[in-house]
């Protein structure tokens, strides 16, 4: 076996340590709560039953959403975003960045691309050899391009992106509920053990640790959960919160925002009855996103929304340009028609093949 292969296998194995750690803590918390607290410590039968029912409900939802976040494979760009074999060879052979960009522009003619690199050129991943769709980023941990990548999370050993973002939010939500419920119900027994109102048995240590661990996780999850709720409300990924997406009209941190209600719908779907279930209901295909219309006239900085504005074919874009020259969508541009393209492609290639792996 080649040393690099062994190293990669070791890395893959080690990446599961945080997940195993969380799984062990959850298993212990289950034992400590159900056996040591409910069965051995709580004297009242009614209280036992209520606690057990609520505990198991939150436990099942928590484990379900955690499982789905871990084992849902990140979505990657479809084959239409890969260069054809001949183009790929030409791209690799070509040393001049401007000619490479011309190859990309040609390949991207019919692709729904509205975002660019900071230099205004087509976003291309050298590692995966694909043109990156909007909101797609390369994850160095997963070694692949991930659609609507949010971040790579070591606690789930997976990339959080288009395919599992809803699951991730629910995982945070249910883990918060799980920890809050444990902390709230254990508190009185925690105090009783502390003030020696309960016999000094081995349950004492489980209850004490249960409270500390639940309270500690509560604080850390609450901050992360609030942050992600805010991101959902803005229709922004963590990566986009740090670095605003760049459109033809320039960078715009609210480029994908459609208004609060519709932003929620983008992640959770239209039907409210599925919002709290870890079932995939996010809108779209992860490649095209409803694009906001941005007024390019600096004298009139009003912004209008067109949530239904989806990808347009090249012809449609041209038609639209003729009829709506005061308002521009993030358009797919043909390089040969655009002088702007040639200019920006000369600037810098440093942002090409940007590699992202956010650890949160």
Kindly identify the residues of this chain, within the stretch 143-162, that bind Zn ion according to CB under 5 A. Answer: 145, 152, 159
Site map 93..122 versus Zn ion, x via CB under 5 A: ------------------------------
Report whether 235 contacts 257 (CB < 8 A).
yes
Query: Which CB atom, from 12 or from 56, has the smaller least distance to Zn ion?
Result: 12
Q: List, in order, residues 6 or more apart from 136 with CB less than 8 Å away.
A: 77, 123, 145, 146, 147, 148, 149, 287
Question: Which of 19-27, 142-150, 163-171, 198-206 is the region at the interface with Zn ion (rule: CB under 5 A)?
Answer: 142-150
For the CB of residue 76, give the shortest distance to Zn ion in the complex, in Å. Answer: 8
Question: Which of 138-146, 172-180, 254-262, 304-312 is the region at the interface with Zn ion (rule: CB under 5 A)?
Answer: 138-146
DSSP string, 208-240: HHHHHHHHHHHHHHHHHHHHHHHHHHHT--HHH
Q: Which of 37, 63, 104, 125 binds Zn ion (CB under 5 A)?
A: 125
Question: Which of 51-59, 135-143, 278-286, 317-325 is the region at the interface with Zn ion (rule: CB under 5 A)?
Answer: 135-143
Report whether 246 contacts 117 (CB < 8 A).
yes
Does 127 contact Zn ion by CB under 5 A?
Answer: yes
Q: How many residues bind Zn ion (CB under 5 A)?
A: 10
Q: List, in order, residues 6 or more apart from 8 with CB less than 8 Å away.
A: none
SS3 145: strand
Query: Which CB atom, from 133 or from 290, has the smaller least distance to Zn ion?
Result: 133
Q: Can you tell me which residue has the tokens 């955690």?
A: 66
Q: Which of 76, 123, 135, 138 binds Zn ion (CB under 5 A)?
A: 138
Q: List, in order, residues 6 or more apart from 69 with CB less than 8 Å away.
A: 153, 156, 158, 160, 164, 167, 168, 171, 278
> Which positions are annotated as active-site residues?
153
For the CB of residue 153, give the shortest distance to Zn ion in the complex, in Å. Answer: 8
β-strand partners of 158: 153
Task: Tell me the C-alpha distance between 312 and 147, whole Å.
Answer: 20
Q: Which of 32, 122, 141, 344 binds Zn ion (CB under 5 A)?
A: 141
Per CB under 5 A, residues contacting Zn ion are: 125, 127-128, 138-139, 141-142, 145, 152, 159
């Amino acid at each position: 076996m080649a040393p690099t292969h062994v190293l990669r296998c070791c890395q893959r194995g080690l990446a599961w340590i945080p997940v195993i750690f969380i799984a062990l803590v959850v298993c212990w918390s289950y034992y400590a709560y159900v056996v040591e607290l409910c069965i051995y410590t709580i004297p009242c039968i009614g209280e036992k039953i209520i606690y057990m029912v609520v505990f198991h409900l939150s436990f099942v939802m928590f484990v379900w959403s955690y499982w789905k976040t871990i084992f849902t494979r990140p979505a990657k760009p479809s084959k239409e975003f890969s260069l054809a074999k001949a183009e790929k060879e030409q791209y690799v052979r070509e040393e001049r960045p401007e000619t490479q960009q011309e190859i990309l522009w040609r390949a991207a003619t019919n692709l729904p691309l509205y975002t660019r690199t900071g230099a205004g050129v087509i976003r291309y991943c050298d590692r995966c050899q694909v043109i990156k769709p909007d909101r797609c980023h390369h994850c160095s941990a997963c070694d692949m391009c991930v659609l609507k990548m949010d971040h790579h999370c070591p606690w789930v050993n997976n990339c959080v992106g288009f395919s599992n973002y809803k699951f991730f939010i629910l995982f945070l939500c249910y883990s918060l509920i799980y920890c809050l419920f444990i902390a709230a119900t254990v508190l009185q027994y925690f105090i009783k053990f502390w003030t020696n109102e309960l016999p000094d048995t081995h349950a004492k240590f489980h209850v004490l640790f249960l409270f500390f661990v639940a309270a500690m996780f509560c604080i850390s999850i609450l901050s992360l959960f609030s942050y992600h709720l805010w991101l959902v409300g803005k229709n922004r990924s963590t990566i986009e919160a740090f670095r605003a997406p760049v459109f033809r009209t320039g960078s715009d941190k609210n480029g994908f925002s459609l208004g609060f209600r519709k932003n929620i719908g983008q992640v959770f779907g239209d039907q409210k009855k599925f919002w709290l279930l870890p079932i995939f209901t996010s809108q779209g295909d992860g490649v095209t996103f409803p694009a906001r219309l941005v007024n390019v006239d600096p004298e009139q900085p009003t912004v209008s929304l067109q949530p239904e504005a989806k990808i347009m074919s090249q012809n449609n874009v041209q038609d639209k340009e003729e009829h709506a020259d005061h308002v521009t969508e993030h358009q797919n541009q043909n390089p040969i028609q655009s002088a702007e393209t040639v200019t920006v492609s000369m600037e810098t290639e440093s942002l090409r093949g940007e590699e992202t792996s956010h650890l949160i």
